[in-house]
Each structure stands twice: as C-alpha cells, then as structure tokens.
Chain A
C-alpha cells in the first residue's frame, strides 16, 4: 500500500508569475499513522502546501513521493498525476462545504465514489458508514444538499471524503466556524483514521482543539518550513517561553507560562499530550498553594507574575502589527493604477485604435505594430496574464485564413483572400492587445469619477450618469472575484473527480460539478455585495453623495495624449 509522503526541495510558483515563489525549499516527511498539523500565519503557504500534495499545484522545483511512487509522472510529453496517489488522497478545501451540484445527497456520494470501482453493496456500506461517522441521519440521503443547514453541509463534505476511504486526509482549517460538538466529532474522525494506520495533514490555527490530538507539528512561514517537531515536545518548548508571542500558542500554553512565571511548577505533561489535563493542573496548584500559603516570601513571585504579564503584553504588542508581507510589488502596481487620469488613457487608446483600424496596407500595419510594441514593452507584465487568450486568437486567425484561402472545386489554395484575412485580423489583435493593459492602469473608482466628471452635465437632462458610472465600478470590482471563485471550484471538482491532468485543464465531464456550485457562489456574492451597498447608503433616497476624489490632468497625462496624437497623425499619413 502507500507509504509516507516525502517532500524534497519542493518549490511552487504563483500561476502566471513564474518568478514569484509561494513555496520554496520544502523538505518534509509526513508519517503514515500520524496526524501532522501545519501551522503559521495567514498567507504563509499552508493551504498551498496542502494543494500541492493533492496535485492541485504544479511544482516549479523539487520532488514529491508517496512511499516509493512519485506524485507527478512524466508519461510522454505532458506530466500527469499518479492515479494511485490521487485515489488514496482526500482533500477538503475551505469551500468544500459548498461544492454541491446533484439533486440529492445520495447522488453527491455516488459522484464522489464514481472513480472507485466499488460494487453497489460496497457503495451502500461506505455511504452508511460515512454518514454515521460524520453524524448525519440517514433520512437526509434523499434531500437536496442545498436545503441542509450550514453545519450539515460541512458534515456532508467530510462524509463525501470519508466514503472514499482515503489513506490520507488533507484538511484545510477544518475547525473554522464549527461548534463544540462539530469539533469533538472531527477529533473522533481523525483519531479513528489514525488508529486505522492512515495519515492526515491538517492546516489549522486552532491549537486549543487540535494540538492535543496531533503527533507532529510543522511551522510554515513565508513559504518555507521554519520548524518541524513532534507535537508534545513542540508544545513543551514553546510553553516555557513566557515572552513568546501570543500567536501560535494555545490558551493552555499561555496559562502554563503564566503560572510558571508566578512561581508555580506545573506538572509535566503526560507523554504524548501537549499539556496536563485541567484536573492534574488544578490538583498540583491546590497543593502548592497550600504548602506556600502562609509564607510572605511569595511577594516576589507576584512581582514576577506582573513582570511576566507585562513582558507578554509587550511581546504581543510587538507582534500585533502583522508582519509586513511583500508590499513592494503591489505598491508599484498601485502607483501604476492611480498614476494616470483614466480620461487621458481612454482618449489615447481611442486615437491609436481608430487609426490602426484604418490601415489597409502592410506598411501601415507594420508602423502600427511598431507603435504598439513601444506600448507593450513597458507594460509586458500587465499583458502576460492574457497570453493564453492571445495565443488562441492567433491560432483562430490562422485557421480562418486557411479556410478563406481554400477552394474546393477544383481543390486549390488561393493566397490572396488568406492574406487579406490575416491583415484584417492583425489590425484587430493590435487594438485588442492595446486595450488589455488598460484594466491594470486604472481603478474602478477612478473610472467612475472620470465618467462622472466628463458626462456629469448630462444629469441635467435626466441621464442617470451617476448610476451608470457606479455600475461600471462594480462590474470592474466583480471581475477579479469571479475569476478567483472559478479557480477555487475548479480545484475542488478536480480533486473530487480524481482527475490526473494538471490543474487548469479540467476534464470535460467535471465541468458540471464545478459550474453549479460556482453559479450559486456568484449569486451569494451578489447578495453580499447588495447588502454592502445598502449598508453604505447607496440607493438610499435621502443620500446626497459627495465626491472625495477629483481627477486632475497632470503633465504625464498631457504627454500621453500628445504622444498618441503624434502616432495617430503618422498613421493617418501612411494610410
């Protein structure tokens, strides 16, 4: 069967940004028959690491093996995931509880089990077992999954995972938002899973709930492993540092540190547990208190406690300002997004686009391409995310040109109509590519304001300029959210369908399981945004919006328009 996970120098880069590493130099072993916690700040790379194990991220370096089998196999040209490992691994991502697409709970189970060749009887047994373990009554099988309560949907997500009986459970923040009962059940599931000799890797912030159960702890920071140790000894070392930052510590660890500082000697934690049970601690405290009760020499320890408390709060205060994440890149982005007046950019774009589209000669197009190139080179980073679409467009052009040049009777190829087609499409692609970076050069509010400032006078004629401008802002704001959500549900569908293709190429049959929850999620987001707008007073009859941001033409804006105008004149002359 399967063995331990072994990660050697694993590195993962951000999609579309090959130079930005999300994970680097990860060397870790996850033992079978053990529960390993991944802990660390938000954004440290815990979720990325889990997704990498599940094959939902491409490696940019290093090697991942399970036992003696590699996760990625290079069969032929393209890399594929190892089917055995994929089938043995169950991952629950943060949105897994809203992954439903079938009309009954039973069908959801059937879908999860489809990749496994289990007989009807075996499937029934697995579903019943999983429902029981997750604490779902069997009457729910015929219900529509979306009519279940939020808590039940989370249990169902877990049950779908358990029904596959994976050797490995990879869980991302499984306790977030769970009530006490849900947490107890989760711990029981993890316990049973480990007792069966299987393994689990759990990314979590909830040390209070999960550290007592864990065998090992790996601390992730900035995309690398900062520390990896057995859970008990890790808890022990960190409990002794009275001044360690509050973060990364359970309340029990903080309590022990405080008591030590106050002159008590708390009992050593029993082997395998990160801290003593409340009862043992209480017994010891009561005894030590009785022994020291009358002694006045206790005063210093009170001072020590106060000092320790002060120290802790100072450390906490120091830790409070969340550490500066890489801020340099977004900052330069920002400067770009609010550097130019959107009106200047749009005017320049319209000038260039019209004059390029007027070109009907190869010479004119060549000049147009040269001018466009001068724009593309400084903006290459903003165009890169669109490269796939551009490539698709070029291929499409080639195909259309080929068809245009084809004669059937007699069968021959005529170059003239083919070249004409290419010429027309080349003009279009230049105009399209010039438009692509615009999104990165403006922010929605600035576009809204430029519309309001340019067309505001139309308000007098009852043209709803402000509403239109606000709608434009919201559409801009929503587009990146839509793309992000799609990415998430594709990952969930990919993991659940046990696809072996690299992520990004979702097999066609898994489209529906990604599409249905995606659409529901968009509707939910739309509702959330409507609430947010209402709470901001947008659309309130008494509201009289003001303008805190006014756009002004700067020198750079004038230069942009002049340059565009010069290019336009040149293009007109060539034509």
Chain B
C-alpha cells in the first residue's frame, strides 16, 4: 500500500511527550494529526514559529527520542543502515565525536563497517567536497560553527546517508558561511540525498522548493514555495501572511507591484528574479 519511492511516510500521526499513567491524558499534543510523505531526493523546508513542533517532527522522522505516538509511521528501514537519520544542530559541539574533522569522519566510517583500507581515502574525499580539506586536522575547538556543521555534513556524505536533517543551522552563522553551508547541502541534495531543512529565514527558500509549515503542532501548509507567497483572490492574503511570517523584501515588493497591476506570476523569489521580472522585454 505504500509506494516504493517514499523514504518515509506519516499518516495521521499525533505525538505527546512520554509520561506515565493519568498524566498522559492531560499532556498537550506536540504534533496533531500530521500526514506527510517524504520522497527520495527531495528538499523539504520545514518552517513554523518557536514551539510549533518543527524539531519534534524532525526528531520523530530521524528516529530519536521516546514519544507517545498515535497513527501510522512508515520508514524504509532498508535505506537506513543505523536506523537513525543524522541531525545537524545549530551548535554541533557535542555531536562531534572525533577531536578533528578527519577523526570524526573516520570514526563514522569505521562504525559503518567500511573496509579499513578505503576509509582514509573516502574521508578525505568527503572533507574535500565540503571544503574542509585544509582544516581536517585542526582541533574542533578552533573551528567555527559553520565548519563544525560542515564536518557533520561531510560525515553523512562519506557514509552515503540517504537523508540529512538540519535544524536551524544558519541561525548563528554569518551570511557568507550561510551561503557556503547552504551551497554544500544543495550539492548533496543534487546528488540524491533527501534533505529536511528547518529554518526561520524565508529568504532561504528557493524557487520550486517544497515548504511544510507547522502551527501549534498542526500541519498548515504543504506545497511549493511560490504557493506560500501567492496572494489568494478571496482573502487578498498569502498563506505566508496568514501564518504570521514576515515575507522577504523581494516578495513584499512583488506584492506591491501586483497591487499596482503589474503581473509577476510566478512570483520572483530572489533579487535577480525580481530585476528580471520587472524588466520589459
């Protein structure tokens, strides 16, 4: 009944924190009646306010934590060697086991049972691809937040993890590091890795991306990024506005242009697209 191509599929899933006895009944739901499916190779942006259940959903999909869950949750176990999906966090200090990027990736490969002779080569290759090759023997304490995140990403690349979850990784990074990390993850995604990207910054959404928005544990939007910003005829509001997000500057300008009668569909999402869209041919 589940189609082959889905890596994970949730049907009417509700989640409460795990407690015992009577207490369970009064616990609020962290997630309510969520149905989503994640296809192989997909890029899924997960957005929502603080406390909307983004991280809970991510941990549930990744296979971490103990919950009181209802509903159906399918995960293609044959694709996940260790059972869990790695989550890259904002401050990944404690998730790094090795004392240098090289050691961290090597340890990951060792645990995955990769043949010893090949490990060093694979590790160095993965580190080169994430741009960390020059720093691979540097102690982790001297790495910046972005470099630590890239180390975690290199590990996933090395063991060919089918999915990667990134939980607001760009929140503490400077704009340059943001672009760098984003580029590397996009590259990984182009190579077929499924990515769940949790963020508060709507500027990070790319045209054609899938966006899933949560509000108070409920699924409120699941569709293309363009649709998130499309103003409805009836209400005059876009899902983005209805959910209380602040739209990026480019989107706001596009809305104002639409109000003035300039038709710009599909809505431009980057400064480059805006400039191109308003230039008459």
A positions within 8 Å CB-CB of B: 40-43, 94, 149-152, 154, 173, 176-184, 205, 207-208, 245-252, 254-255, 257-259, 261-264, 275, 278-279, 281-283, 285-286, 289, 292-293, 298, 301-302, 305, 309, 312, 316, 319-322, 324-325, 327, 330-331, 333-334, 337-338, 443-445, 473-474, 476-477, 480-481, 484, 524-526, 528-529, 531-538, 540, 543-550
Stretch of B8-16, B77-85, B219-227 with 4 or more beta carbons under 8 angstroms from chain A: B77-85
- Are A320 and B123 in contact (CB-based, < 8 A)? no
CB distance from A242 to the nearest CB of B (A): 11
Residues of chain A lying within 8 A (CB to CB) of residue B272: 258, 305, 309, 312
A292 to B279, CA, bound (A): 9
Contact for A176 among B103, B131, B171, B279, CB less than 8 A: B171
- A322 x B49 contact (CB < 8 A): no
Q: How far is the CA of A257 from the CA of B249 in the complex (A)?
A: 13
Extra contacts besides A151-B49, A549-B106 (11): CB < 8 Å: A181-B244, A246-B176, A262-B276, A322-B144, A327-B138, A536-B108, A537-B111, A544-B113, A545-B113, A546-B115, A548-B110
Partner of A546, one of B113, B141, B183: B113
- Nearest chain-A residue to B167 (Cβ)? A177
What CA separation (Å) do A566 and B145 show in the bound complex? 46
- Whole-angstrom CA separation of A1 from B90 in the bound complex: 40
Q: How far is the CB of A143 from chain B (nearest CB, A)?
A: 15
Q: A205: shortest Cβ distance to chain B, in Å?
A: 5
Contact A151 B276 (CB under 8 A): no
Judged by a CB distance under 8 angstroms, whether B18 is at the interface is: no
Does B51 reach chain A (CB closer than 8 Å)? Answer: yes
Q: Is there an interface contact between B172 and A173, defined as CB atoms closer than 8 Å?
A: yes
Number of residues from B at the complex interface, CB < 8 A: 91
Question: Do A177 and B90 have beta carbons less than 8 Å apart?
Answer: yes
B26 to A: closest C-beta gap in Å: 14
Is B162 part of the contact surface with A, judged by Cβ < 8 Å?
A: no
Tell whether, in the assembled complex, residue B95 and residue A445 are in contact, meaning their CB atoms are under 8 Å apart.
no
Taking a contact as CB atoms under 8 Å apart, the answer to whether A546 and B106 are in contact is: no
Contacts of B49 in A (CB 8 A): 151, 179-181
**Which of these, B50, B144, B274, contacts A255 with CB under 8 Å?**
B274
Q: Do B253 and A529 touch (CB < 8 A)?
A: no
A40-B174, A255-B274, A331-B138 are known contacts. Are A298 and B279 too (CB-CB below 8 A)?
yes
The answer to whether B110 and A286 have CB atoms under 8 Å apart is no
- Name B122's closest neighbour in chain A (CB-CB): A548
Inter-chain contact A480/B141, CB cutoff 8 Å: yes
Within 8 A of A (CB), among B129-161: 131, 134-135, 137-139, 141-142, 144-147, 155
Point out the residues of chain A lying under 8 angstroms from B114, CB to CB.
Answer: 546, 548
- Find out whether the CB atom of A292 lies under 8 angstroms from the CB atom of B112: no
Instruction: Give the contacting residue for A151; candidates B51, B87, B131, B261; CB below 8 A.
Output: B51
Q: What CA separation (Å) do A533 and B87 show in the bound complex?
A: 11
A401 to chain B, nearest CB (A): 38
* A516 smallest CB distance to B (angstroms): 19
Chain B interface residues (CB < 8 Å from chain A): 48-51, 62, 64, 81-87, 89-90, 93-100, 103, 106-116, 118-120, 123, 131, 134-135, 137-139, 141-142, 144-147, 155, 168, 171-180, 183, 200, 203, 244-246, 248-250, 252-257, 259-262, 271-272, 274-276, 278-281
B250 CB contacts on chain A under 8 angstroms: 251, 255
- A245, A279, A301, A550 — which one has the most chain B CB atoms within 10 A of its CB? A279
Closest 6 CB pairs of A and B: A548-B119, A151-B50, A282-B256, A537-B82, A247-B176, A532-B95
Contact with B50, one of A178, A205, A246 (Cβ below 8 angstroms): A178
Of the listed residues B119, B145, B200, the one surrounded by the most CB atoms of chain A closer than 10 A to its CB is B200
- The answer for the CA separation of A249 and B171 in the assembled complex, in Å, is 16
A68–chain B nearest beta-carbon distance, Å: 36
CA distance in complex: A372, B134 (Å): 35
Q: Could you say which residues of chain A place their CB within 8 Å of the CB of B261? A: 286
| Minimum C-beta distance from B181 to chain A (A) | 10
If A257-B271, A282-B259, A325-B144 touch, whether A150 touches B50 (CB-CB below 8 Å) is yes
User: Nearest Cβ distance between residue B29 and chain A, in whole angstroms?
Assistant: 14
Nearest chain B residue, comparing its CB with the CB of A207: B175
Cβ 8 A contact of B244, one of A180, A205, A309: A180
Cα distance A249–B271 when bound, in Å? Answer: 12
**Residues A255 and B257 in contact, CB atoms below 8 Å apart:** no
Q: How far is the CB of B3 from chain A (nearest CB, A)?
A: 26
- Asked whether, in the complex, the Cβ of B260 is within 8 Å of the Cβ of A320, the reply is no
B176 engages A473 (CB within 8 Å): no
Q: How far is the CA of A321 from the CA of B147 in the complex (A)?
A: 11
**Complex: A524 Cα to B93 Cα, angstroms:** 12
* Assembled-state Cα–Cα distance A270/B144 (Å): 38
Are A543 and B94 in contact (CB-based, < 8 A)?
Answer: no
| Pair B94/A255 contact, Cβ less than 8 Å | no
Q: Find out whether the CB atom of A445 lies under 8 angstroms from the CB atom of B256.
A: no
Cα distance A480–B84 when bound, in Å?
27
